[in-house]
């Protein structure tokens, strides 16, 4: 008898442990290697390349400006010019909305890639494959 709030489920024909393992592998590729790698593993070439491109564009759109600001800050600070170092950080205050949007977009693309790789693998690979 089931405990309240818990149900037992049996595996259907499309939910074999082997197919679940393939779906988990696709999701892990997207999570640990690069978003879009799971789509490439699922042979969704266009979607995989698009996800990789969008993720890299959004991520680099954040990382490049932040890196330039930090390098500029420490160069001025190392030269003893504290005012210029503080002024170099002011660039971030004027661009924080764009940077926040790109960070959010990177996160959404990352999560989408993992979930989509798992779901598409489960849909496209019935238990007979």
For residue 92, the model assigns a pLDDT of: 87
User: What are the C-alpha distances in Å from 50 to residues 47, 65, 78, 92?
Assistant: 5, 23, 41, 29
Domain membership flag for residue 23 = yes
Domain membership flag for residue 98 = yes
- How far apart CA 110 and CA 117 sit, in angstroms, is 11
Domain membership flag for residue 7 = no
Domain membership flag for residue 29 = yes
Domain that residue 102 falls in: 17-124
Query: Whole-prediction pTM value?
Result: 0.78
User: What are the C-alpha distances in Å from 31 to residues 91, 95, 105?
Assistant: 32, 28, 16
Domain membership flag for residue 2 = no
Please give the chain's pLDDT, 129 residues, in tens. Answer: 555 655 544 445 555 656 788 999 999 999 999 999 999 999 999 999 999 999 999 999 999 999 999 999 999 999 999 999 999 888 888 889 999 999 999 999 999 999 999 999 998 765 544
Domain membership flag for residue 37 = yes
Domain membership flag for residue 42 = yes
- How far apart CA 24 and CA 64 sit, in angstroms, is 32
1-22 burial, b if ≥16 CB within 10 A, otherwise e? Answer: eeeeeeeeeeeeeeeeeebeeb
Q: Quick count: other Cβ atoms within 10 Å of Cβ 70?
A: 13
State the total domains in the chain. Answer: 1
Helices and strands, number each (H, E), in the chain: 4, 0
């Amino acid at each position: 008898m089931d405990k309240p709030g818990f149900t037992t489920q049996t595996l259907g024909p499309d939910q074999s442990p082997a197919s679940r393992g393939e779906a988990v592998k696709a999701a892990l590729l997207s999570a640990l290697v690069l978003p879009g790698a799971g789509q490439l593993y699922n042979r969704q070439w266009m979607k995989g390349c698009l996800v990789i491109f969008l993720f890299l564009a959004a991520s680099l759109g954040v990382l490049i400006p932040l890196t330039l600001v930090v390098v500029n800050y420490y160069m001025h600070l190392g030269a003893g010019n504290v005012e210029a170092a503080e002024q170099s950080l002011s660039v971030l205050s004027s661009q924080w909305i764009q940077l926040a949007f790109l960070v959010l977009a990177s996160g959404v693309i990352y999560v989408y890639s993992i979930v989509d790789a798992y779901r598409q693998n489960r849909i496209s690979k019935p238990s007979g494959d």
